[in-house]
Amino acid sequence: MEHLLATIGRNMFAIFGVLALCGAAFMVAAKSAVHSVLGFLFTMLCIAGCFLALEAEFLGMAQILVYAGGIVVLFLFVVMLVELSKYKEKAIFQLQTRSAVIAVLIGAVAFLVAFRDIFFGNASSEALVLRPELAKGLNVAAENAQAVSRGLFSDYLLPFEILSVILLVALVGAVVLAKTERV
Amino acid sequence: MVNLNAVLLISFLLFSIGIAGVLIRRNALVILMCVELMLNAANLNFIAFARHSGSVSGQAFALLVMGFAAAEVAVGLALVVALYRKRDTVQVDDINLLKG
């Protein structure tokens, strides 16, 4: 049992990654938009798990808060608002599905051929390790949040402030776009 | 112990699924979700490289991307609602206002 738990702990990233891929595939293939939103929620939670496995604790929690708490609810609201069952859906996929799938497959094969050595050659056994002198700041949950905030409010202060302006513009833009004509 | 290449591979596959969804789905809501998925795949790369280099820049930038994604979703969903008011549909095949 302990051995099993240790194995799971070691492979946490792979488990969450594969689950995220399954959720994403379900999201794309699901017929109903509500099912798609549920697949999206599952994928986002699994990606948050990936973040935790990569020792980005603060971002993992932020991912759960922002996506599962905010964006998925927003999507669900709109899905229920637009009443998708009203019209008859001719087909889920667009007309150019076949060419799109072929293009994606060709791209994937080209990518794998080009990067075969990196993924499956000798270099792939090289582990992802922290720089020892910086490892302390990224390790523990509390210190991770401290490190992120220190980076955000010193080196990335200008992008951070610009992002706040972008959020304000998006807020006003969303209200203007969604309001009714007669107001 | 996480292998950097495993992270890159999973991020690549997530991004591919997102692109495939944008290309082949007709529902504007699902297309928006697929765009979010692509942004998340990019975030995964940011965090993997932040961990790889021991620098916190990648994580800070991933947080910025997350906020940007939230803004994008708000505007995108407002567009979908406005479109539904005007054309009574959210299928991208039926949206041909510019064609006249």
Q: b/e for A54-70, b at 16 or more Cβ within 10 A? A: bbbbbbbbbbbebbbee
Does some domain include residue A96?
Answer: no
Q: Is position A151 within any domain?
A: yes
Pure H helices in chain A: 2-10, 12-29, 33-53, 57-63, 72-82, 97-114, 116-120, 135-139, 141-154, 157-178
Q: How far apart are CA B98 and CA B100, in angstroms?
A: 5
* Nearest Cβ partner for B63 among A62, A123, A173: A62
- The SS3 of residue A93 is strand
Q: What is the pLDDT of residues B66-76, one digit of tens each?
A: 999 999 999 99
Between the alpha carbon of residue B97 and those of residues B86, B89, B91, B92, B93, the distances in Å are 10, 12, 13, 11, 11
Q: Does A105 map to a domain?
A: no
Q: Write the ipTM.
A: 0.92
Q: Cβ contact (<8 Å) for A53 and B29?
A: no
- Looking at the predicted structure, is the pLDDT value of residue A45 above 90? yes
Cβ-Cβ contacts under 8 Å, B51 against chain A: 54-56, 128, 130, 138
Looking at the predicted structure, is the pLDDT value of residue A131 above 70?
no
pLDDT band with cut points at 50, 70 and 90 for residue A120: low
Average pLDDT over residues A103-116: 81
Query: Among residues B43, B5, B30, B51, which one has the least CA distance to residue A47?
Result: B43
8 Å CB contact of B20 and A128: no
Cα separations in angstroms, A67 against A39, A61, B51: 12, 10, 22
| pLDDT per position as a tens digit, A134-182 | 555 555 556 778 888 888 888 889 999 999 999 999 999 999 988 876 6
* Nearest CA distance, B98 vs chain A (angstrom): 18
d(CA A19, CA A11): 12
Residues 6-65 of B with CB under 8 A from A: 6-7, 9-10, 12-14, 16-21, 23-27, 29-30, 32-34, 36-37, 40, 43-44, 47-48, 50-57, 59-64
CA A20 to chain centre: 9
Report the predicted TM-score, pTM, of the whole model to 2 decimal places: 0.84
pLDDT (tens digit per residue) in A15-36: 999 999 999 999 998 888 889 9
Instruction: Say if A17 falls within a structural domain.
Output: no
The reply to whether A108 falls in a domain is no
What pLDDT does B15 receive? 92
* Domain annotation covers residue A142: yes
Q: Please report whether residue A13 resides in a domain.
A: no
A153 and A162 Cβ atoms separated by less than 8 Å: no
Confidence check: pLDDT of A78 > 80: yes
Domain count, chain A: 1
Q: Is residue A132 part of a domain?
A: yes
Domain of A137, in residue numbers: 126-183
Band of the pLDDT at A53, cuts 50, 70, 90? confident
